[in-house]
Amino acid sequence: MGNSKNKMSRRNFIQSSLAATASVSPLSIFLGNVLSNYILKSEALAQGVDPQSLMSIFNIYMGGGPARWNFDLPLSPGAEMMDTKNPMLITQYGQNEGSPGIYKSINIGGTYLPWFWSGKLPAPNGAVVDSSELARRMLVIRGVEQPTDGHIQNAARLLTPIEGPNVTGLLADASSRPIPSIGLLGSSPFYKSGKGVSHAVVGASSSMLVSAMAPFVLSSTTTSNPGLLIGDSAANIGFPMGIGSNQTGAIFDHFFETMANNSGALHKYLPSSYQDRLKAKQLLKGQFGDLKSLYTTLFVKYQSLIDRALFSTEPALQISGIDDRILAGNKDNPHWRMSIQGAGVTYAQNPIYTGADLRTCFDNNHGGADIPNLANCFVLAEFMLKNKLSQSVYGVVSGITNLKLDQIHYSNNGVHTPIANEIYQFTLDQHFDGANVPLLMNSRYFKAVSACLYELMSVLQSENLFGNTMFNMLSEFSRSTLLNGVGTGHGYKGAVFSCFTGKVQQPIVIGNIGLEMSRNGPLVDRGYWGAAAPLESIGGRTLNPGNVASTVSAIVGIPSPSPNNMSLVRVEGDTIIPTITEKRNIA
C-alpha cells in the first residue's frame, strides 16, 4: 500500500469498513478476519502479483532424509547406468538368493528413471494404475549443495535459502484465500511470512477439518448473544441474535460495497468478482457438509491406498525384482544389517536380519505396518485445495512403523543371539541399514506416498485444478553411501528436490552429479549417490538452495526470496520449460 499519507493504512481501512457494516451485521470480528485477507490480495495486485494466477502448493516434508535413488533421484537420467560403484545404490535385488543387487532404470518419456517407476500403484475401489502416469508429471532438481549438515535447518533451507520470508510465506502474503497457509503439527518451522500472515496449524485427528474451519463456519441456528461467534461457547454456537442464515448474502453484498466505498486508492485492486463473493458467503454459511463425516470418508480412502501399497500382496502391485523376490536374511552378510533398537538391542550390537523372508514384516496379522500422519496429510490437502480454501498446505511424515520381523540376530559379547517377532520402526534417517533392507522398505514407503499423490492429482484434475498446483517433495538431504555398502550418511552435499505438477508433461531432470569430493580427491568407492557437481551454465558452480527457491517461485508466480540465484525453469502458458538442461554425471 505504500507509506503515502493519502493512502489508508490497512488497519484504518478495516476499521472504517467494519464501522460502516456495524448497523447491518454484528459479525465484525468474523468480517475483520475475512477482510484482512482481501486487503492482502489488493496489495498483491498493486505490486503486480495477481492472486488469481497464483499456483497452489502442497509441501510434503519427509523427516529424517530418506535415500532417494530408488524414487526421485535418477542417478543416470540420460542412459542406463551399469555400475554405480557402490553396492548400496541398487534398485533391484539380484536374480538369485544371495546375489548382489543392481541399479536398473526404466525409460519414461526419454528420461531414465529408477526402476520403481516400472510398477503400478493402488487406486480407489481396488483399481491399479501405472506409476509412470505420475512420473510424467515430475520435475527433479538433483545435486543441490547444502552449506552445512543438519536436519530441520536443511529441510527448511530449500524454501528459505536466506534470512527473511520464504517461498511458502510469500505465497501466503499474495493469496486471497481464507486460510492462506495451513499445515499439520510440525510444519511451523518451514513457514515465514513477510507481512505477518499467519500459518494455521492443526493436529492430525478426526476433528482437524472442524478445527481448520472453526474461525469461519457458523451454524444455521441463532444464539441469544448479539456478538457470539463459533468457538465462543461450546454450548451456544450459531449466528448472533437477529442474524439468520438466509441473510448472509445481503450481509456480504453490503460488506463488499462498503469496502469499495472506503478503499480510496485501493479501489481498483479490490476483489469484487462473483467467485470472491461466493466463497465468502459459502464460508459464512458453512456449506461444506458434516466435516467429521467428510474427514472419515477421505481418511478411509487414503489409508486404504497406504495399506495396499505397504502390504503389496496383490500381484499387480508387485514391482519385479523387488516385491517378487524371497528375501531370506543371513547373519554372515552385512547387507542385511538393520537400524533397529528394542528388546535390549542397540545399533552397536549390529542387529541383522536372519528371518525367512523380509517381506513378511508387512503382514497385517499383528495390526499392520503404517506411515503415521500420511493419510491425514492428504485429507487436509484434498479438502483445502479442492475447495480453494488455502494457497499452501504442509504435510509432515516420518518412516514406517509397526513392522514385525520374524527373526533378527544381534551380537552379545561376540555371540550372535536370535530374537523372534521383534517390532521394528523403519526410520527415514537410515544410518545403519545394509544395502538389502532399505530397497524393500523405501520401495514400499514411496509406493504408499505415490499412491496418495496420484489420487490427489486425479481429484484436482477432475476439478481442473492440477494445472495450477504443485506437490513438493522435501527432505533435509539425500543419503551419502559408505564404502562397504553398509549404512549411509547425511548427503547434504547432494540434496534433491522434486515436484509434481500439471505444467509438466514428461519427466524433467536438472542438475549435474559426480563423485563426492574430499580434501584428497574423489571418493570413488562411495559411488554416484548424487553428490553435487558444477554446471557450466551457471559459471562452474554447483546448484544451491537459492536456485531451488527461485525455481519454485517462478513456477507459482511470486518474487523469489533469493533473487540473486536464478530460476532453473521458466513458465510459458501451461508448460514448464527448463532454462538449464545440464544433467550429466561428472567423473
Tell me how crowded residue 149 is: count the other CB atoms within 10 A of its CB: 14
Question: Residue 456 and residue 377: Cα distance in Å, rounded?
Answer: 11
Question: Residue 7 and residue 1: Cα distance in Å, rounded?
Answer: 7
Cell digits for 11? 488497519
Give me the phi and psi of 312, to 5 degrees please.
45, 45
Tell me how crowded residue 359 is: count the other CB atoms within 10 A of its CB: 20
User: In which band, very low, low, confident or very high, does the pLDDT at 43 lie, cut at 50, 70 and 90?
Assistant: low
Question: Residue 147 and residue 168: Cα distance in Å, rounded?
Answer: 21
Strand, coil or helix: 315 = helix
Largest CA distance in the chain: 83
Lowest mean pLDDT among 63-67, 279-283, 384-388, 486-490: 279-283
With CA atoms as reference, report the closest residue to 439 among 84, 51, 157: 84
68, pLDDT greater than 80: yes
Question: Residue 132 and residue 116: Cα distance in Å, rounded?
Answer: 9
Tens of pLDDT, residues 312-347 = 999 999 999 999 999 999 999 999 999 875 556 766
Q: Answer left, alpha or beta for residue 463, where phi above 0 means left and psi between -120 and 50 means alpha.
A: alpha
Q: Answer left, alpha or beta for residue 13, where phi above 0 means left and psi between -120 and 50 means alpha.
A: alpha
Question: Residue 523 and residue 513: Cα distance in Å, rounded?
Answer: 13
Pairing of strands 495-501, 138-144: antiparallel
Tens of pLDDT, residues 440-492 = 999 999 999 999 999 999 999 999 999 999 999 999 999 999 877 789 999 99
pLDDT at 342: 58
Question: Residue 78 and residue 76: Cα distance in Å, rounded?
Answer: 6
CB 190 within 8 A of CB 392: no
Q: Rank 56-70, 399-413, 421-435 by mean pLDDT and report only the highest.
A: 56-70
- For the chain, percent of residues with pLDDT exceeding 90: 61
Cell digits for 153? 535447518
Pairing of strands 478-481, 488-491: antiparallel
Q: Rank 177-191, 230-244, 565-579 by mean pLDDT and report only the highest.
A: 565-579
Tell me how crowded residue 21 is: count the other CB atoms within 10 A of its CB: 21
With CA atoms as reference, report the closest residue to 152 among 126, 123, 187, 124: 187
Helices (H) then strands (E): counts for the chain: 12, 24
Cell digits for 504? 509438466
CB 190 within 8 A of CB 394: yes
Q: Answer left, alpha or beta for residue 330, where phi above 0 means left and psi between -120 and 50 means alpha.
A: beta
Express the helix, strand and coil content of the chain in percent, nearest 5 each. Answer: 35, 20, 45
With CA atoms as reference, report the closest residue to 175 among 98, 250, 276, 74: 276
With CA atoms as reference, report the closest residue to 196 among 170, 214, 235: 170
pLDDT at 18: 38
Q: What mean pLDDT do residues 50-56 have?
A: 79
Mean pLDDT in the chain?
A: 83
- For the chain, percent of residues with pLDDT exceeding 70: 76
220, pLDDT greater than 50: no
pLDDT at 85: 85
With CA atoms as reference, report the closest residue to 580 among 60, 159, 113, 143: 143
CA distances from 290 to 206, 215, 373, 412 (A): 12, 16, 22, 56
First to last CA, the chain: 53
Q: What mean pLDDT do residues 111-122 have?
A: 98
Question: Residue 38 and residue 260: Cα distance in Å, rounded?
Answer: 12
pLDDT at 12: 43
Strand, coil or helix: 34 = helix
Q: What one-letter code names the amino acid at 326?
A: I
User: In which band, very low, low, confident or very high, does the pLDDT at 176 lie, cut at 50, 70 and 90?
Assistant: confident
Lowest mean pLDDT among 15-24, 32-41, 73-82, 379-388: 15-24
Question: Residue 475 and residue 162: Cα distance in Å, rounded?
Answer: 17
Length of the chain in terms of residues written: 587
| pTM beyond 0.85 | yes
29, pLDDT greater than 50: no
Per the DSSP assignment, residues forming a β-bridge with 411 are: 416
Tell me which residue has cell 477439518. 209
> Residue ranges of the domains in the chain?
1-48+219-286, 49-217+288-586
Question: Residue 443 and residue 437: Cα distance in Å, rounded?
Answer: 10
Name every residue whose Cβ is closer than 8 Å to that of residue 136 and which is 6 or more positions away in sequence. 108, 109, 504, 505, 506, 507
pLDDT at 274: 41
Tens of pLDDT, residues 127-164 = 999 999 999 999 999 999 999 999 989 989 999 999 99
Tens of pLDDT, residues 277-305 = 455 555 555 556 678 899 999 999 999 99
Question: Residue 410 and residue 430: Cα distance in Å, rounded?
Answer: 18
Q: What mean pLDDT do residues 115-120 have?
A: 98
Name the CA radius of gyration of the chain, rounded. Answer: 26
Cell digits for 70? 530408488
Question: Residue 345 and residue 193: Cα distance in Å, rounded?
Answer: 45
pLDDT at 339: 82
Q: What mean pLDDT do residues 192-199 have?
A: 91
